[in-house]
Amino acid sequence: MEIIQTEAYREIPLREGGRESSVPLATAIMKSIAVKAARGNMRAAELFTELLGKTEQVKMRERLAFVEEAIEYKIAAEKEIERCRKEGLPEPDLCPHLDHIHINVATGEVHFTGPLTKEDRKAHEDLKKRKEKCEADLNWLKTKHKRARKPEVRASLRDDIARPERMHKVIRSGLPKEHPIEVFERQLERIYPTKG
């Protein structure tokens, strides 16, 4: 089994459109089948259609399983919130929060609009504070630049403004994140372990 996977992902040279590139063997085979199918080879067309259908089925099953996990999480979280309310306890600190999980059952899409972990939330809060400080510094420098009369002072202030503007741009771009589905699935595994 391992040798098949090793061979499937072994890079081979492929010439396409007059230029050569390196692609996994599995990719080269699929491209070959697709080209033959496009040129009218019925066996290649049947094989390509069959493989495409199976791939789409797997993707749909994965998407639906994720939607089910998201629904289960929301139901469990809502029950926990209701239990806390009945017992007069504070609402649980949920991450992701229910309001940040949007499920479209028709399309099989789950969309997150907030942090997925407490660490992520802390990072976002820290980033927001840095953004606000950066904006305050920028406003102060721009006001100072506007009031400056001497050309050399104005030039120096322009240089001073450029640094926080670059920093502001970096901060606005946000922090690098894992794919939301991976984070969410890891959290579900902690809550509802499937192994052991």
Considering the domain architecture, whether residues 8 and 35 belong to the same structural domain is answered as yes
Give the pLDDT confidence of 70-113 residue by residue, as tens digits: 899 999 999 999 999 999 999 898 888 888 888 887 777 888 87
pTM value surpassing 0.75? no
Considering the domain architecture, whether residues 91 and 185 belong to the same structural domain is answered as yes
Which of the pair, 85 or 8, is modelled with greater confidence?
Answer: 85
Q: What is the pLDDT of residue 118?
A: 82
Interior angle at CA 73, CA 68 and CA 74, nearest 5:
100
Q: What is the pLDDT of residue 195?
A: 52
Give the pLDDT confidence of 24-33 residue by residue, as tens digits: 988 889 999 9
Considering the domain architecture, whether residues 124 and 159 belong to the same structural domain is answered as yes
Give the pLDDT confidence of 115-174 residue by residue, as tens digits: 888 888 888 788 778 888 888 888 888 888 888 888 888 888 888 888 878 877 777 666
Give domain status of residue 78, yes or no.
yes
Give domain status of residue 64, yes or no.
no
SS3 content of the chain, % helix, strand, coil (to 5): 70, 10, 20
Please give the residue range of the domain that contains residue 7. Answer: 2-40
- SS3 of 49-93: HHHHHHHHHHHHHHHHHHHHHHHHHHHHHHHHHHHHHHCCCCCCC
Give domain status of residue 144, yes or no.
yes
Give domain status of residue 123, yes or no.
yes
Considering the domain architecture, whether residues 105 and 129 belong to the same structural domain is answered as no
Considering the domain architecture, whether residues 132 and 145 belong to the same structural domain is answered as yes
Considering the domain architecture, whether residues 82 and 109 belong to the same structural domain is answered as yes
Q: What is the pLDDT of residue 44?
A: 93
Give domain status of residue 59, yes or no.
no
Tokens of 127: 């980033």
Q: How many domains does the chain have?
A: 3
